Amino acid sequence: MKNDYEKRNLLNILLIISLTQLFFFSCESSPQPTGPLFLPQGFESTVFVDEISETTRHITVSSGGTVYTKFKKTSEEGALAAMKDIDEDGKADEVIKFANDTLIKGYGYATAARIYKGYLYFSSELAVYRYKLDPDQMVPKGELETVVIDDHPHGMHEHIGKPIAFDDKGNLYVPFGAPSNSCQNPKRTPLKAGMDPCPQLKDHGGIWVFDAEKLNQTQAEGKKFATGIRNIVGLDWNTHDQSLYAVVHGRDDLFRLWPDRYNAWESALLPSEEFIHIEEGDDFGWPYCYYDQIQKKRVLSPEYGGDKNTNGRCAEYKDPIMGFPGHWAPNDLVFYQGDVFPEYYKNGAFIAFHGSTNRAPYPQSGYFIGFIPFKNGKPTGDFNVFADGFAQVDPIINVRDAVYRPMGIAFSPNGTMYIGDTEKGRIWSVRFTGDKSKFGKADLAKMEARKQLSHIRTPDFKKDNLSDTNISEGQQLYNKYCMACHQSDGKGASGRFPPLNKTDWVIGNKERLVHLMLNGMEDPIEVNGENYNGIMPQHSFLKDNEIAEVLSYIRTHFGNTSNSISTEEVTKYRITNSKKNKP
């Protein structure tokens, strides 16, 4: 009996040891939601604010240490929050929501938060605003002022963010993003040539410069500074070399639109997300060309006769200073000018890669904070992974699998770095607590190893392909035309592409659904209580039987149990369809 007891006791001890080892291994390989971020040696992170229900986008910090963030979703409590770490323990002691002014227009696609000459500047997709800051109060007390107004019609506008930057001469830089993917009409139509010349470049696809302190300016009162830029969300003025920089979202849908020239692997990796240095008069080539970071050159877009390799007219356009893999979504750019971090980071660039939505059938990629060391105004090497662990899963199959997605970056006067998340509204504070004099390559080693994870490394053409070959025609069509936005699980992407599960838009009126498929939708939409502002392209080029197959698929999957749609019904509804019937 004693031997049996001792054996059981020994087995229990071994079991406890094994579970303990497994726990620590799991924490190291996949951090828990309450755990720290992965950072270089000597850095520590703290959850500054655990959750802001409206969720966050960009962040800025006042000279007095008040942290301001622009919400992703405006609520009755306001469009911004002011937060402060009074006892300097890395956590916010007070959070005050404000700015519920009815003059703030837009649907929450905010892409700016900057402080300039005592004012808090921020944006919606329709305007740039400001509040006068009170040095004795966290919340501004003055009236809301409008600085720049986007007075264009917005029904056809895809890239409508308004990031901002200020130089030292009183200028305010504001991008007006391209209103399409690649200047096609109709937009995002397979095998459709682009308009040449592209008329959209007259008022869009570039950066305009304004007087930073003049109110109620329209685009006509600004001056075009640079052109050929599809979509900027991260923009910053580098005070070290007195220059403007941006990170650019490249075009989408190479495989969906041009399956005769691109495969899904190429479409997942291309084109590059560009890091550009911008001087007055620059032209970066959109929509005629894109940058291929694998070949390290600009190539002609397929809409303009490109074959993946031809340079053609692209030789006349300016190249980026660095090209990142496609669809990483660089959504903030901040040059570090402080003295608290090790010297290695001085004058370098931090970039928030919000993460891809459209890399299927390969894993989604990005979802980390990168750093690019600079010297004499140029990158001195490849990007570093500075902060990781936001998604908390790897591989990331669907965008909503990611627990957090990094968006905003800001630095306080005391050297604290703040990183904001768009999915739950968490904000982290990051501090360097190590020895600056001893910081070197060894301290970066564990972060360099994280480049081998599937959300950062280049996917293997075969091994990383997550698609199932034994699927119905409806799913094949869904995977080709719908999955990039609505994801393989049909849950979409927060704020951009709505879910397809258990919504009346899908399981309700058949005629409305067919018309939606034929016409697309370019206006904001509310689905299951959440607003979405992504563009739904028209699919009138599909045959009636193909529309029936794909719509029947979504009506009977993703938790939906509605009846299917027949080819005859699609034929009937195509006849009743008109632009006037557009939902």
- pLDDT score at 496: 82
Q: Could you tell me which residues are beta bridge partners of residue 175?
A: 207
Query: Are 122 and 161 contacting, i.e. CB atoms less than 8 angstroms apart?
Result: no
- pLDDT score at 130: 97
Which of 360-369, 373-382, 572-581 tops mean pLDDT?
360-369
Query: Are 505 and 530 contacting, i.e. CB atoms less than 8 angstroms apart?
Result: no
Calpha distance 441→56 (Å, rounded): 33
Which residues, 6+ apart, have CB-to-CB distance to 257 below 8 Å? 182, 188, 189, 190, 191, 192, 302
- pLDDT score at 59: 97
- pLDDT score at 102: 66
Instruction: Establish how many alpha carbons lie within 13 A of residue 287's alpha carbon, considering only the half-sphere containing its beta carbon.
Output: 29
- pLDDT score at 307: 96
Compare 476 and 103 and report the one with higher pLDDT.
476
- pLDDT score at 108: 61
Compare 524 and 150 and report the one with higher pLDDT.
150
Distances (CA, A) of 302 to 232, 248, 268, 309, 314: 22, 19, 16, 10, 13
Q: What is the mean pLDDT of residues 82-105?
A: 89
- What the block records as the tokens of 375 is 């010297």
- pLDDT score at 30: 36
Q: Is the per-residue pLDDT at 11 higher than 50?
A: no
Q: What is the mean pLDDT of residues 67-75?
A: 91
Torsion 354-194-480-572 (CA) sign: positive
pLDDT band, very low/low/confident/very high, at 14 (cuts 50, 70, 90) = very low
pLDDT digits (tens, 9 = 90+) for 505-559: 999 999 999 999 999 888 778 888 888 877 888 999 999 999 989 999 999 999 9
Q: What is the mean pLDDT of residues 158-166?
A: 94
* 231-253: burial string, b at 16+ Cβ within 10 Å, e else: bbbbbbbbeeeeebbbbbbbbbb
- pLDDT score at 2: 40
Calpha distance 297→309 (Å, rounded): 9
pLDDT digits (tens, 9 = 90+) for 333-350: 999 999 999 999 999 999
Q: What is the mean pLDDT of residues 241-249?
A: 97
Torsion 518-524-529-530 (CA) sign: positive
- Closest to 112 (Cα-Cα) out of 210, 233, 214, 283: 233
Question: For all residues of the chain together, what is the average pLDDT?
Answer: 90
Minimum mean pLDDT range among 77-81, 107-111, 263-267, 512-516 = 107-111
